[in-house]
Amino acid sequence: MAIDAGVFHTVALKSSYRFGGFRGPVNALPEINTLEAGAGVTVRFRLGGNHGLDIFAESFPVSRWVSCRADANTDEIEHSVQARSNSLRYDAETDIYTFVWKTDPGWSGQCHRLLLRFADGIEHTALFRFR
C-alpha cells in the first residue's frame, strides 16, 4: 500500500469542556506568575460542570522549561500550599477544579510553562518564574 506523503489534513478540535479560564491565585497569559521554587500551587479552573477526575490527557499536566523574558509582566502568587505530590479535586458547590501542582525546589531561577492538556486534546497554559 502506497502512502501519499504530500497530502495533509487539518483537524479542528472542539473542546468537550467549557474552560472558564484560570482563577486566582494563578494568572493567565501574558502574566508570569512568580513564587518560591518547591512550593505547591493551587491551579483553579472551571470546565462547565463536573466531568469527573479523569479530565487530563495521559501524562498531563506537565511542566516545560522556557526562557524568561526580563520585560514580562509578573504577578506574585500570594498563597502557596504544602504539597507532597500533584493532586486534583472538584468542588461541586463552587463548580471549580483545583489542581495542586508540586513544583521542584531545583527550579530556582528558572521559568516554566505549566501545560494542561485535557482528555479532548485542548491545551491551556500558564507561565511561572521561580525564585
Interior/surface letters 73-105, b for 16+ CB within 10 angstroms, e for the rest: eeeebeebeebeeeeeebeeeeeebbbbbebee
DSSP secondary-structure letter at 12? Answer: -
Summarised one tens digit per residue, pLDDT across range 89-113 is 999 999 999 999 999 999 999 999 9
Summarised one tens digit per residue, pLDDT across range 12-50 is 456 789 999 999 999 998 899 999 999 999 999 999 999
Integer Cα distance of 66 and 98 in angstroms: 24
Q: Of 79 and 60, which is predicted with more confidence?
A: 60
Phi first, then psi, for residue 106 (nearest 5°) are: -75, -5
C-beta of residue 27 within 8 angstroms of C-beta of residue 68: no
Domain segments of the chain as ranges: 23-110+121-130
